[in-house]
């Protein structure tokens, strides 16, 4: 079965689309992806595999301006990666005969994504929306870096900015589940902007968010930081004091408890 005979399918199982940004043509759509979300120190693979392809574009097999889209069950894009140059790595004779959903490879000439759990988290976001309160904390601490990456990517791809959108007067952080700095930013984003919300991924980004809130004259809010002593022990005194200083500098009242 040749790739050209794999037709467009609007199945809700599709999670990834590879799109030519210039024409908008979908090069391939598939249920999963292998060898794109990887550990930082792993060797770059020769190809990225699209698992169980639902659609393979017959017009183009390569482009200089590819975008990898993560899509939900309604086909809406929830996150995207600017890939650049890609080229189909499959050959007709290597596609198994009779396979209606073959696995197909593309050569990515840019870098893969150095957040190894991001693919699993994207699947959760795409198939079980909206994000549940405290969902990030139900994952092991070594997932938190990938969770924060997904949060940040989805946040900006949705057209939202580095600011505060919630209207409640008090944001509450509970340090019970915070054992890493990435976990702190996951908790802070949720406290300020709701589940799946973003409010910085490092100190510089946090300062940008706070400055934007102040510049836009958004409604003031207060930060309640419960079990602060546990955060100080897990994250380090220098880090927690710098965070408090940033909030104070930008006019946000903080209440460590």
Model pLDDT for residues 181-192, shown as the tens digit of each residue: 999 999 999 999
Look at residue 168 in the predicted model and tell me its pLDDT: 73
CA–chain centroid gap for 200, Å, is 14
β-strand pairing of 62-71 with 104-108: unpaired
Q: Output the CATH code of domain 135-256.
A: 3.30.370.10
CATH 3.30.370.10 domain residues, the chain = 135-256
User: Burial letters for 10-48: b for 16+ Cβ neighbours within 10 Å, e otherwise?
Assistant: eeeebbbbbbbeeeeebbbbbbebbebbbeeeeeeeebb
* Average pLDDT of the segment spanning 223-241: 95
Least confident of 26-40, 91-105, 140-154, 200-214: 91-105
Look at residue 5 in the predicted model and tell me its pLDDT: 37
How does pLDDT run across 22-68, given as a tens digit for each residue? 999 999 999 999 999 998 777 777 899 999 988 776 656 889 999 99
């Amino acid at each position: 079965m040749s790739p050209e005979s794999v037709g467009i399918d609007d199945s809700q199982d599709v999670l990834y689309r590879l799109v030519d940004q210039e024409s908008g043509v979908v090069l391939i759509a598939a249920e999963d992806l292998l060898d794109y979300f990887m550990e930082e120190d792993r060797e770059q693979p020769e190809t990225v595999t699209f698992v169980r392809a639902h659609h393979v574009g017959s017009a183009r097999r390569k482009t200089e301006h590819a975008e990898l889209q993560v899509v939900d069950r309604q086909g809406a894009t929830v996150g995207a990666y600017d890939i650049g140059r890609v080229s189909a790595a499959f050959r007709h004779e290597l596609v198994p005969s009779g396979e209606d959903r073959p696995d197909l490879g593309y050569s990515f000439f840019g870098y893969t994504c150095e957040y190894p759990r991001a693919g699993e988290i994207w699947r959760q976001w795409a198939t079980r929306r909206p994000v549940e309160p405290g969902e990030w904390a139900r994952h092991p601490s070594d997932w938190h870096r990938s969770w924060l990456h997904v949060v940040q990517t989805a946040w900006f791809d949705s057209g939202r900015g580095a600011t505060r959108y919630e209207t409640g007067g008090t944001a509450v952080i509970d340090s019970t589940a915070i054992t890493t700095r990435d976990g702190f930013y996951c908790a802070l984003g949720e406290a300020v902007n709701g589940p799946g919300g973003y409010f910085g991924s490092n100190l510089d980004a946090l300062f940008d968010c706070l400055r934007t809130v102040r510049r836009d004259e958004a409604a003031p809010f207060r930060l309640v930081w419960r079990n602060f002593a546990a955060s100080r022990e897990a994250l380090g005194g220098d880090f927690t004091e710098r965070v408090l200083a940033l909030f104070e500098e930008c006019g946000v009242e903080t209440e460590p408890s």
